[in-house]
Amino acid sequence: MALFRRPAAIIVAAGLVVIVAGTLGLLLTRHSVAAVLPPKPGVGALPAPTGPIVAPPQSSDPVAVASPVSLTIPLIGVKTRLITLGLQSNGTLQVPSTVTVAGWYTGSPRPGAIGSAIIVGHVDNYRGDGIFFRLDTLSRGDKVYVQRADGTTVMFLVTRVQKYLKNEFPTAAVYGPTPDAELRLITCGGTFDSTTGHYLSNIVVYATEAG
């Protein structure tokens, strides 16, 4: 094997290995990948949190409510702590840096206070599902619980689930003021644009505090 003692021969061998790898890679990626669909609601459901549920706020004498610490959506198996989120420098909503937690936008009312509390979570990461993977399977009447720092729990009922193209996002409807205690759960959905690395739509779940 005197041939391989020559550096040039090693270069040739390396080149051939690279050609083989490239060809294999090319051949192995010539098929489409099907979307991973979320299982039906109820699969992997969690129990509702125990303990008393506080009553919705009255319009007179608004009281300060404690900040939210965790979110439970029994029907779709969501149980997560809530991190706090602000705005990015371009004015858009910050999103959690991991896909396993959801976050509450601190510029929105606290869940259970009058107004729309905004909670955001990822639908997926590069490899698999995120905390809000099954958010779009929720429907009217489904229960959403938010636990707060003082140990109280507020319960919301889903009123509707909407899908909006991101370039037609109805900011006023989603983030706008309300006269009662509401919740907005936001994640991504619709078509994934692999050239930009973003989904084209947002899923928004509207919920109102039950009382």
Among 133, 146, 154, 183, binds other proteins (CB under 8 A): 133
Q: Coil, strand, or helix at residue 155? A: strand
The interface with other proteins within residues 46-85 (CB under 8 A) comprises 56-62, 64
Q: Which stretch binds other proteins (CB under 8 A): 45-53, 68-76, 145-153, 162-170?
A: 162-170
Does 108 bind other proteins (CB under 8 A)? Our answer is yes
Q: In angstroms, rounded to a whole number, what is the distance separating the alpha carbons of residues 51 and 62?
A: 23
Please provide the DSSP assignment of 190-202 as one string.
EEEETTTTEEEEE
Among 104, 105, 145, 156, binds other proteins (CB under 8 A): 105
Q: In angstroms, rounded to a whole number, what is the distance separating the alpha carbons of residues 178 and 157?
A: 16
Contact indicator for 185, 123 with CB cutoff of 8 Å: no
Give the residue among 147, 144, 94 at the shortest CA–CA distance from 120: 94
Does 43 bind other proteins (CB under 8 A)? Our answer is no
Query: x/- binding map, residues 165-204, to other proteins, per CB under 8 A?
Result: -xx-x-x-x-xxxxxx-----xxxx-xx-x--xxx--x--
Contact indicator for 120, 102 with CB cutoff of 8 Å: yes
Give 47 or 172: the residue with its C-beta nearer to other proteins: 172
Query: x/- binding map, residues 13-32, to other proteins, per CB under 8 A?
Result: xxxxxxxxxxx-xx--xxxx
Give 6 or 40: the residue with its C-beta nearer to other proteins: 6
